[in-house]
Amino acid sequence: MRRTITGRHSFSGRGALSNPPGRFDLQKLEAVDDGWYLEEAPESIATTLEPERARTVISHNDSPDIPFERSINPYR
């Protein structure tokens, strides 16, 4: 079975282009070009990077269900 993607446009670096159906789905959807609605090409979305000044990289945990008190946040 060959799948083709029609009528979809991707934004570079913005996630998956398609979402194929699963094996056990009860419904199957197919895109049909009937000429009623023509999508315009989407505008590109600009990616911006903003510096963030974190106070600390180490976060303190005060929870009884976590066996440690401090952890490192790799995203800060």
Domain boundaries, the chain: 49-75
Q: How confident is the model at residue 73 (pLDDT cuts 50, 70, 90)?
A: confident
CA–CA gap between residue 25 and residue 55 (Å, rounded): 48
Q: Are 76 and 52 in contact (CB under 8 A)?
A: yes
**What pLDDT, on a 0 to 100 scale, did the predictor assign at position 33?**
81
Is the whole model's pTM more than 0.75, yes or no?
Answer: no
pLDDT in tens, 56-69: 888 888 889 989 99
Q: What pLDDT, in 10s, does the model give residues 5-48?
A: 555 555 566 677 777 778 888 887 787 888 787 777 777 778 88
